[in-house]
Structure 1
């Protein structure tokens, strides 16, 4: 059983114990620890630290010379020595190849998020929506133009 499946089983036990959803992940985690269903392993602690460092790097921004607030650190997942790993770099000093990979991979994440959103909306409309279908527009051109126009005014 995978680690995710183990965590999903903990959530099921949480529900079976009479704790209703919706609940916060924090509440479920506290319950799981109190029940002795989860305890940190060294690898879990290291993974958690790495996740927090990655989150902090994602949130580091600067204002560029044109006044845009931009992310400084970017991740690219590449294969090195036969193993795949996520490497972070600062866009001000990163090789162009790193940035090209990072930007393409981020774009693919956005496409994946849009695909999942489309599936979710389609499933809701077909299986749970008693009213008019909810509509999603996946062309973000006008959204981006509007954001940039508002930024130019500010």
Structure 2
């Protein structure tokens, strides 16, 4: 059985096969999919999409702390509940164990992004510029220090 993602990619491929404009905005593809009865939301899909949008909104919500820093208002953490990992949300007043898990989760996301960037640049360099590969510095200590100084000045 095809995954939901596979089904979405099939819609994109069918959109292209139908001779619709390409390159296309995602809204164009979505409009075509709905007009051609290729995309209908079940209750579960509606809940899933709503949850995804709520997560995005909570992740983007910032407030100013006492020192005037822009910080997240809501935090997520993968918590083990009844033997399964679930994503829970709390606010800036969360208990320390929750925030420790949240910080570790976010650090792992950053690590994953860095790993993918390394893979991408290594592959590109091997194919396009093996004699002068693109070097990416993954030590962010100086960058963090500079940003901290800018924050103090601002």
Within 1, Cα distance between the matches of 2:133 and 2:32?
38
Q: Is 1:6 matched up with 2:7?
A: yes
- 2:63 match: 62
> How far apart are residue 100 of structure 1 and its match?
0.5
- Residue ranges of structure 1 left out of the alignment (5+ in a row): none
Q: How many residues align?
A: 153
The residue matched to 2:80 in structure 1 has which SS? strand
- 2:90 match: 89
Q: Deviations over 1:8-46 (max 9, x none)?
A: 222222232334654332222222222221111111111
The residue matched to 1:67 in structure 2 has which SS? coil
> How far apart are residue 47 of structure 1 and its match?
1.1
> How has the CA–CA distance of structure 1 residues 28 and 60 changed in structure 2, closer, same or farther, with 3 Å as cutoff?
same
Within 2, Cα distance between the matches of 1:141 and 1:135?
17
The residue matched to 1:102 in structure 2 has which SS? helix
- Residue ranges of structure 2 left out of the alignment (5+ in a row): none
The residue matched to 1:76 in structure 2 has which SS? strand
The two structures have a TM-score, normalised by structure 1, of: 0.87
RMSD over aligned CA atoms reads 2.1
Q: Deviations over 1:114-146 (max 9, x none)?
A: 111111222222335699533322111222122
The two structures have a TM-score, normalised by structure 2, of: 0.87
Q: Deviations over 1:85-114 (max 9, x none)?
A: 11001121x111111001100000110011
> How has the CA–CA distance of structure 1 residues 124 and 30 changed in structure 2, closer, same or farther, with 3 Å as cutoff?
farther
After TM superposition, the structure 1 = structure 2 runs for residues 2-151 of structure 1, keeping only pairs within 5 Å, are 2-19=3-20, 21-92=22-93, 94-127=94-127, 132-151=132-151
